[in-house]
Structure 1
Amino acid sequence: RVVSPHCQALMCVTILQLRLQQRRTREQLVDQGIMPPLKSPAAFHGQIRSLERARTENFLKHKIRSRPERAELVRMHILQETGAEPSLQATQMKLKRARLADNLNEKIAQRPGPMELVEKNILPVDSSLKQAIIGERQKQQYKHTELWR
């Protein structure tokens, strides 16, 4: 499709007007440090920015020099003590978590039920209820042994 030069110029003007409406105000540019404030000379603004940058640089250098050693971070449980290469540490951690999850699932599967806890006097219940539970359990065991005879 061919666009006439008049339409192209009209589109350019429309786009330019839209971009001018959307641009940031001078105050926003000053707040972001892009432009110097109106009341201060540009050279003064540049000097202030370089001083702020130098102060930030000094602060970061101080933080880097005073950061704790690796052994201290391991002692504080921030880093893991591992002999594996850094590229393998993530895989090692996943494996360790999977083993832990399997171990916990196995322990949960083997934990005693409420009836067993009542029989071993671990779970407190009323004495009449306890006798009923033990009696029912003995009936079940008797039926089970009769089936195997």
Structure 2
Amino acid sequence: MGKTRTPYPAEFRAQMVELVKAGRTPQELAREFEPTAQTITNWVAQADRDAGVRHDGLTTAERQELTRLRRENRQLKMERDILSHRRPGSRGRREPCHRRVRIHESEPGPLAHSHDGAAARGLDERLLRVADTRAIAACWQ
């Protein structure tokens, strides 16, 4: 991995852009200051996009909105998967539950019902005792 550093302050970037627009080359500024010539060139191009001079990319505001929307979209997909009892990354398919879950009455006794995992989710846990808790857990994962 490459080295990471804290971003340059906005005022510093603006000063570099102004110096380039005043006639200095990015290479001169790179020798005099820390950022590379390519970094300074990128700052000038982004400043032109923000000013409406260039139309070959996203403005800073559009880029920030895109980042925010992508983050929000990721969060909503995760919440949807949780609410629909899906595994994250299962591409919208519910995981099938092939095991039968035996459920007994709350007191030891004869078998009361036999349900699949999906039907067993709605049953009141205080009244019923699940014979094999691993079977229910397998259905919910």
Which structure: larger Rg? Answer: 1
More strand by share: 2
- Normalising by structure 1, we get a TM-score of 0.27
The answer to which structure, 1 or 2, has the higher relative contact order (CA under 8 A, 6+ apart) is: 2
More helix by share: 1
